[in-house]
Structure 1
Amino acid sequence: MTAPAAERGTTTVADRAVRRIAQRAATEAPVPGGVEAGRGSATVRGRRAEVAVTVTLPYPAVLDEAGERVRAHVAERTARLTGLTVSSARIRVRGLSPRERSAGMRAAPSADTGGTDTGATKTAATGAGRGRARRPWSQRRLPVAVLALAAAAAFGLLLYDMVSVHAAGHAPARWRVRTMEWLATHGPDVPDGGTVPGLLAALAVFALGVWLLVLAVTPGRRGRLPMEPPLPGMRAVLERRAVAVLLRDAVTDVPGVSRVTVRVGRRRARVRARLAFGEPDRARRAVREAAGAATAGLGLAAPPRLRVRLRTEPTWRGAPPDEPTP
């Protein structure tokens, strides 16, 4: 007796296949600007499947609306291609990616497809603002506030004293009388050597004026390094402290390195490392390569020049000698 076709065997869809289908379906979601799919997971239990995909949505986008479109498309597309019932489809928005909406700009390929950007895309995306990346202009709120408060207090006190003298008939304040007497006896026309205090006061006022001019014509915010603009009209910066942390983490991963100190300036980055074991020359090359790779991956408009200094620890152990071949 021949058994029915439905009873002769079963078809099993692996979790890996369902995960790849869900990731691919996320990139096909009807969201303007395209969706980039990252990591995903899938669990198959009988005829039911649960999937989860991490995505990057285009900017600007309404997150709840775009996320719901991606979730619905992933659930429907995965169920159609696998024949399973997708009981749960979870979408995690990892980040937002700005994209050019013009026809000449192609969207960046998904991380799952293994594609690479074309030369035109790289030129439009990263070369649009090359040479024009600058630090954002500081509003100098603290110096301006301090100067404004000091000037307002001084002139307010002087105005109060003058109004009280001319309007109410009060005697002038002692501090104003003494100030006028001191200025009269220490001015530039006094022949008895009162020039030094006047020169000091003039130099102080001159220094204050120069400082205010410097604040007015310089951008400030020296702790931030400009990054290469991703799109025309956009500006991105990176804190120098963050650059130092990234360089330190990259150099710390070099085998044998025990301690790392990084100082990042506007044009130079100084890396000082201590070697606990291993060959110094080889470790020094590895430290330079790690720091260079980390600096190149930061996307800075003007990457700082690296200065690497490697010293051995007092308890340093050299590489073991090669054993002779018998």
Structure 2
Amino acid sequence: MSEAADRTGTHAATRSRNQTGEKGTTLKGRSGVDAPPGIRGDTTVADRVVAKIAGMAAREIPEVHNLGAGMARALGAVKERVPGSGSDVTRGVAVEVGERQTAVDLDLVIEYGASIVDTAGDVRANVIQAVERMTGLEVVEVNIAVHDVHLPDEEDDSEQGGGRVA
């Protein structure tokens, strides 16, 4: 960390792997009695944490029916029927996390009748706000691929245990 960054309290970040081998970003704090208590020590944010935050933020938008492409949704619906497996909020979410920035890719199924452009904008804004607020990482892009439109008369994955997490 440079002296100028040290004086201003700016955090440095590095990519790391924790004891289980999971990738994450470590936000380096300062040490010593002259450093404010809130920045003494390091904080590591796993890539999976960023993916979960992005997945939950995308699902908060009412026009989003589900996340994931066709095969991922089908496998997810089967997996969720297994007792104790729960739902996978990262299905349909891919993240690339760097030292200070992250990029998010989302695969969406939108409710019929919703404006895809408006819904994508709402999802993008909500994901950026949630990830930046919760992790301190700058979200440089949120790429959205709409894989399907859910029609009102279609059989719903949620009836089989694989629907949207609200």
| 8 A contact 1:53–1:92 mirrored in 2 | yes
Alignment match of 1:56 (pick from 90, 94, 109): 109
- Matched length: 107
Corresponding position of 2:134: 81
Alignment match of 1:68 (pick from 109, 121, 132): 121
Aligned to 1:74, the other structure's residue is in SS state helix
Q: Deviations over 1:71-125 (max 9, x none)?
A: 111111222222222111111111110137xxxxx99476575x9xxxxxxxxxx
Residue identity matched to 1:19: A
* Separation in structure 2 between the aligned mates of residue 57 and residue 51 of structure 1, nearest angstrom: 18
Change in Cα spacing, 1:80 to 1:58, as seen in structure 2 (3 Å) is same
Gapped runs of 5+ residues in structure 2?
A: 1-31, 69-91
| 8 A contact 1:37–1:111 mirrored in 2 | no
1:6, CA displacement in angstroms? Answer: 6.1
* Separation in structure 1 between the aligned mates of residue 140 and residue 101 of structure 2, nearest angstrom: 6
| 8 A contact 2:157–2:163 mirrored in 1 | no
Change in Cα spacing, 1:66 to 1:112, as seen in structure 2 (3 Å) is closer
* Separation in structure 2 between the aligned mates of residue 111 and residue 15 of structure 1, nearest angstrom: 24
Question: Scaled by the length of structure 1, what TM-score is found?
Answer: 0.29
**Which protein has the bigger strand share?**
2
Trace 1:231-250 onto structure 2 (pairs within 5 A): none
Question: Scaled by the length of structure 2, what TM-score is found?
Answer: 0.54
1:42 pairs with 2:42:
no
Higher relative CO (Cα under 8 Å, sequence separation at least 6) belongs to 2
Gapped runs of 5+ residues in structure 1?
A: 101-105, 116-326
Change in Cα spacing, 1:60 to 1:7, as seen in structure 2 (3 Å) is closer
Alignment match of 1:94 (pick from 147, 153, 161): 147
1:2 pairs with 2:33:
yes
**Which protein has the bigger helix share?**
1
Deviant stretches of 4+, over 3 Å: 5-8, 106-113
Aligned to 2:48, the other structure's residue is in SS state helix
Aligned to 1:19, the other structure's residue is in SS state helix
| 8 A contact 1:40–1:53 mirrored in 2 | yes
Aligned to 1:12, the other structure's residue is in SS state strand
* Separation in structure 1 between the aligned mates of residue 97 and residue 145 of structure 2, nearest angstrom: 20
